[in-house]
C-alpha cells in the first residue's frame, strides 16, 4: 500500500511561509490606522517612509532568514549567540533620543546618588529626592553607574543592553528547564521579534530592567523548587530585585505561586502519598519567600510613609487613569509585536491541552492575566514579553520540520528588525526630544564650563517645562545652573499621565553650590514648553546683548511634548 503524499511538500511549506511572512507587514501597513500605540503607532511612524524601500528590505530580510535557517551553528552555542545578537541589536538603537519624559525622574534620582553619595540617596529618597511612584532599585543602580563610571548616557545604555541580553539568555534557560533547548532558544530569539521592545532598550527607564528581574525570578524559583540548595538564596535575591523594580511586578510575581502549585501537583502525580515531597516543597518555597521578604520589609519599614503615599497615588490616580491611557490589544499584539508571536502563543494553548502539559500553565499565567485584568498598554505589558515568546516557541514546536521552524523564527526577527530599525528609529529621531540630544552635543563643544537654563512657562501646556532640564543634562557634560520657580499645575493635569511633571523638585546641584562662581557672560539655554512658542518679555530682557548661535526645533507635530532648545551666547 502506497504512503499518501504529505499535505504540503517541504518546498511548498517554505514558499507558503515566505509568502505569509511578506504579506504580514503589507497587511499591517494597509490597516495601519487601527494601530493606536501612543509612541510608535503605524499611522505616523510610516508617514515619511518610502514603502517600496520598506518592502524591498523585508524581502532581503526574509532571504537572510532563509539562509540562517539552513545553519544550526547558533543553536550549538545558544548563550553566546543570544548575547551577541541581542547585544548588537541594542547598539543599533543607541542613537535614539530619550522620547519618554519619565527619563527625567530616573535621571534626577540617579544624579542625586552620583553627586551626594549612597547615604544621602538612602536618607533623602522620597523626601528631597522626589520618587513619585518609582521604586528605588533601578535609580539606585543608575546612580552607582554614574558615580563610578561617569555621568554618560552610554554607560546606562550598556547596562540596559546587558540586561536585555541576559533576559534573552534567561528566557532560553527557562524554556530549556521546562521543556528543551529548542523551546528556550527560539523563545530567546523571538524577543528580538518585538519591534516595540527594541525601541525601549536604549532608554533610561526601568521597563527593560524590570523585564529581566521578572524572568530571572521565574527561572530561579523553578530551579529552587526543583533543586533547592544554592538556588534558594539566589531565587530570593531575584525576587527581592523584582519587588523593588516596579510596583506592577508585585502582581506579576503571582506566577511564583503558580510555579509552586505546579511543582506540587507534578510530584504528587509521580509519587502520590509522599508527604516528604510536600514538606520539601513547602520548605523551599517558604525559604525563598522569607529570605526575600525580610530585606523588603526592612526597607518598607524604614520608608513606610513614602511607600504608603506611593500606593495611595497608585490606587487613587494611576489605577483609574489606566482606562484613559490604554491602547488596543490589536495594537500591542499585532502591530507592536510580530503577529506570528501571538498566533503561535494562542496555538500553544491548544497544544498544551492536547498534551495535558501542566508545566505550560507557568508561561500562560501572566499573558492571560494581562488580558483578564484588561491591561492594554505596551509599556505596562512589556515585562511579560518573555512569557509570550515562550508561549509562541512552545506553539511552534508543533511544526515538525526543524528547518521550517527555524525559518519561521528568523523571519519574525528579520521583519521586526526592519520595522524597528528602518521605520521606528528614523521616526523617533524626528521627535522633539532629539533637540535635547543635539543641544547637549553642541553645548559640549563650547568652552564655558557652566550654562544657564531658562524654561519659560506656557499657560496652554500640560507638561511642566522644568522636567526638560534633567533630560538636557543627560546629554551634556556642562554644569547646569537653573533657578526653578514653582508653578501651579493646570486643572486639566489632575487626571493626566503627565501629572508627575508638576511634582518636580529642583535639585540642589542646579543651584550652583558646586558649580563655582557664575560668570555673567555664560551661555544661556532656553527650553520652550511648545514648538515655536513666543518668548516672554522677561526672557528677551535676559538675553539682551546675546546672539542666538543655535536652535534645535525638530518636531513631528503629533505629540504634546514638543520643546524647542535655543542657545544664546554673549
User: According to the 3-state scheme, what is the secondary structure of 492-540?
Assistant: HHHHCCCHHHHHCCCCHHHCCCCCCCCCCCCCEEEECCCCCCCCCHHHH
Give the H/E segment covering residue 476. none
118: left (phi over 0), alpha (psi -120 to 50) or beta: alpha
Same domain for 295 and 416, yes or no, is yes
Same domain for 301 and 414, yes or no, is yes
State pLDDT tens for residues 484-517.
888 777 766 667 777 888 888 899 999 864 444 4
Query: Domain range spanning residue 364?
Result: 10-101+152-428
C-alpha cell at 207: 521597563
Same domain for 381 and 449, yes or no, is no
334 within some domain: yes
Judged against a pLDDT cut of 60, whether residue 3 lies above it is answered with no
Which has the closest alpha carbon to 388: 351, 339, 327? 339
Judged against a pLDDT cut of 80, whether residue 115 lies above it is answered with yes
CB proximity list for 311: less than 8 A, separation 6 or greater:
247
CB proximity list for 99: less than 8 A, separation 6 or greater:
39, 203, 428, 431, 433
Q: What is the pLDDT of residue 197?
A: 98
Same domain for 347 and 492, yes or no, is no
118 within some domain: no
Percent above pLDDT 70 for the chain: 94
Collapsing DSSP to helix, strand or coil, 479 comes out as: strand
CB proximity list for 162: less than 8 A, separation 6 or greater:
87
**Cβ pair 82, 416 in contact under 8 A:** no
C-alpha cell at 168: 534573552
**Cβ pair 240, 135 in contact under 8 A:** no
Same domain for 397 and 267, yes or no, is yes
Helices (H), 323-460: 329-330, 340-355, 360-372, 378-381, 385-396, 402-419, 425-428, 434-444
**Cβ pair 138, 245 in contact under 8 A:** yes
The dihedrals phi and psi of 5, each to the nearest 5 degrees, come to -65, 150
List 453's β-bridge partners, or say none: 525
Q: What is the pLDDT of residue 517?
A: 47
528 within some domain: yes
145 within some domain: no
d(CA 440, CA 418): 29
The residue that leads in pLDDT, 458 or 472, is 472
State pLDDT tens for residues 125-151.
999 999 999 999 999 999 999 999 999
Banded pLDDT at 520 (limits 50, 70, 90): low
CB proximity list for 50: less than 8 A, separation 6 or greater:
none
Mean pLDDT, rounded, for 405-418: 98
d(CA 234, CA 13): 44
The dihedrals phi and psi of 480, each to the nearest 5 degrees, come to -105, 130
Which has the closest alpha carbon to 213: 262, 177, 248? 248
Q: Which of 98-107, 364-373, 403-412, 450-459 has the lowest mean pLDDT?
A: 450-459
State pLDDT tens for residues 59-91.
999 999 999 999 888 999 999 999 999 999 999
Collapsing DSSP to helix, strand or coil, 240 comes out as: helix
d(CA 482, CA 460): 23
**Cβ pair 419, 24 in contact under 8 A:** no
**Domain boundary residue among 428, 449, 473?**
428
**Cβ pair 507, 112 in contact under 8 A:** yes
Same domain for 446 and 562, yes or no, is yes
Q: What is the pLDDT of residue 210?
A: 98
**Grid cell 554644569 — which residue?**
479
The dihedrals phi and psi of 421, each to the nearest 5 degrees, come to -85, -35
134 within some domain: no
Q: Which of 50-59, 67-76, 354-363 has the lowest mean pLDDT?
A: 67-76
Q: What is the pLDDT of residue 310?
A: 94
State pLDDT tens for residues 444-463.
999 999 999 999 887 667 78
Judged against a pLDDT cut of 90, whether residue 40 lies above it is answered with yes
Q: What is the mean pLDDT of the chain?
A: 92
Same domain for 404 and 444, yes or no, is no
C-alpha cell at 124: 533623602
**Domain boundary residue among 428, 456, 491?**
428
Q: Which of 10-14, 266-270, 393-397 has the lowest mean pLDDT?
A: 266-270
d(CA 410, CA 422): 17
Same domain for 226 and 176, yes or no, is yes
The answer to pTM > 0.75 is yes
Banded pLDDT at 258 (limits 50, 70, 90): very high
d(CA 85, CA 80): 9
The dihedrals phi and psi of 330, each to the nearest 5 degrees, come to -60, -40
CA 129 to chain centre: 23
Q: What is the pLDDT of residue 496?
A: 73
Same domain for 188 and 67, yes or no, is yes
Collapsing DSSP to helix, strand or coil, 569 comes out as: strand
50 within some domain: yes
Same domain for 54 and 95, yes or no, is yes
Which has the closest alpha carbon to 229: 180, 266, 283? 283
545 within some domain: yes
Residues making up the chain, counted from first to last: 570
Same domain for 447 and 411, yes or no, is no
d(CA 440, CA 470): 11
Structurally, how many domains does the chain consist of?
Answer: 2
**Cβ pair 407, 65 in contact under 8 A:** yes
d(CA 237, CA 295): 10
The residue that leads in pLDDT, 12 or 150, is 150
The sign of the torsion formed by the CA atoms of 96, 100, 104, 109 equals negative
Banded pLDDT at 538 (limits 50, 70, 90): confident
Same domain for 422 and 443, yes or no, is no
C-alpha cell at 260: 509552586
d(CA 287, CA 422): 48
**Domain boundary residue among 428, 463, 492?**
428
Q: What is the pLDDT of residue 511?
A: 86
Q: What is the DSSP string of 187-231?
A: HHHHGGG-HHHHHHTTSSSSHHHHHHHHHHHHHHHHHHHHH-TTH
d(CA 341, CA 202): 23
116 within some domain: no
Amino acid at each position: 500500500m502506497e504512503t499518501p503524499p504529505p499535505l504540503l511538500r517541504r518546498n511548498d511549506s517554505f514558499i507558503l511561509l515566505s509568502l505569509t511572512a511578506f504579506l504580514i507587514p503589507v497587511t499591517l501597513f494597509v490597516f495601519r490606522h487601527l494601530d493606536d500605540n501612543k509612541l510608535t503607532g503605524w499611522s505616523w511612524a510610516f508617514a515619511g517612509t518610502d514603502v517600496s524601500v520598506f518592502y524591498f528590505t523585508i524581502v532581503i530580510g526574509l532571504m537572510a532568514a532563509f539562509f540562517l535557517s539552513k545553519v544550526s551553528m547558533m543553536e550549538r552555542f545558544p548563550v553566546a549567540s543570544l548575547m551577541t545578537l541581542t547585544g548588537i541589536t541594542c547598539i543599533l538603537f543607541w542613537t535614539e533620543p530619550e522620547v519618554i519624559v519619565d527619563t527625567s525622574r530616573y535621571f534626577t534620582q540617579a544624579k542625586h546618588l552620583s553627586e551626594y553619595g549612597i547615604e544621602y540617596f538612602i536618607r533623602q529618597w522620597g523626601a528631597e529626592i522626589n520618587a513619585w511612584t518609582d521604586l528605588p532599585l533601578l535609580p539606585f543602580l543608575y546612580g552607582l553607574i554614574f558615580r563610578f563610571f561617569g555621568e554618560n548616557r552610554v554607560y546606562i545604555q550598556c547596562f540596559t543592553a546587558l540586561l536585555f541580553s541576559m533576559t534573552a539568555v534567561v528566557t532560553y534557560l527557562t524554556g530549556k528547564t521546562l521543556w528543551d533547548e529548542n523551546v528556550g532558544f527560539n523563545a530567546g530569539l523571538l524577543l528580538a521579534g518585538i519591534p516595540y521592545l527594541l525601541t525601549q532598550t536604549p532608554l533610561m527607564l526601568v521597563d527593560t530592567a524590570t523585564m529581566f528581574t521578572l524572568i530571572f525570578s521565574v527561572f530561579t524559583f523553578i530551579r529552587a523548587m526543583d533543586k533547592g540548595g544554592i538556588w534558594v538564596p539566589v531565587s530570593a535575591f531575584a525576587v527581592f530585585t523584582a519587588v523593588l523594580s516596579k510596583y506592577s511586578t508585585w502582581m506579576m510575581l503571582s506566577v511564583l505561586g503558580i510555579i509552586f502549585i505546579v511543582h506540587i501537583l507534578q510530584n504528587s502525580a509521580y509519587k502520590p502519598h509522599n508527604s516528604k515531597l510536600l514538606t520539601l516543597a513547602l520548605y523551599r518555597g517558604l525559604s525563598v519567600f522569607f529570605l526575600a521578604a525580610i530585606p523588603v520589609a526592612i526597607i518598607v519599614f524604614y520608608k513606610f510613609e513614602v511607600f504608603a503615599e506611593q500606593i495611595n497615588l497608585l490606587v487613587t490616580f494611576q489605577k483609574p487613569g489606566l482606562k484613559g491611557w490604554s491602547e488596543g490589544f490589536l495594537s500591542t499584539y499585532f502591530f507592536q509585536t510580530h503577529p506570528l508571536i501571538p498566533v503561535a502563543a494562542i496555538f500553544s494553548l491548544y497544544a498544551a491541552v492536547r498534551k495535558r502539559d501542566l508545566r505550560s500553565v507557568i508561561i500562560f499565567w501572566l499573558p492571560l492575566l494581562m488580558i483578564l485584568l484588561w491591561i492594554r498598554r505596551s509599556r505596562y505589558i512589556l515585562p511579560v514579553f518573555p512569557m509570550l515568546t515562550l508561549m509562541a516557541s512552545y506553539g511552534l514546536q508543533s511544526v515538525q520540520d526543524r528547518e521550517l521552524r527555524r525559518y519561521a523564527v528568523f523571519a519574525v526577527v528579520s521583519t521586526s528588525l526592519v520595522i524597528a530599525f528602518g521605520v521606528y528609529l528614523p521616526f523617533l529621531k524626528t521627535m522633539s526630544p532629539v533637540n535635547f540630544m543635539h543641544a547637549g552635543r553642541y553645548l559640549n563643544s563650547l568652552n564655558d564650563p557652566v550654562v544657564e537654563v531658562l524654561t519659560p512657562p506656557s499657560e496652554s501646556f500640560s507638561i511642566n517645562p522644568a522636567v526638560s532640564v534633567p533630560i538636557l543634562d543627560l546629554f551634556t557634560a556642562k554644569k547646569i545652573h537653573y533657578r526653578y520657580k514653582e508653578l501651579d499645575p493646570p486643572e486639566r493635569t489632575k487626571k493626566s499621565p503627565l501629572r508627575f511633571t508638576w511634582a518636580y523638585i529642583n535639585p540642589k546641584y542646579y543651584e550652583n553650590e558646586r558649580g563655582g562662581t557664575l560668570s555673567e557672560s555664560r551661555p544661556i539655554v532656553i527650553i520652550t514648553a511648545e514648538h515655536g512658542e513666543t518668548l516672554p518679555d522677561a526672557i528677551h530682557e535676559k538675553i539682551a546683548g546675546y546672539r542666538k548661535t543655535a536652535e534645535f526645533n525638530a518636531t513631528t507635530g503629533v505629540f504634546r511634548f514638543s520643546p524647542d532648545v535655543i542657545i544664546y551666547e554673549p
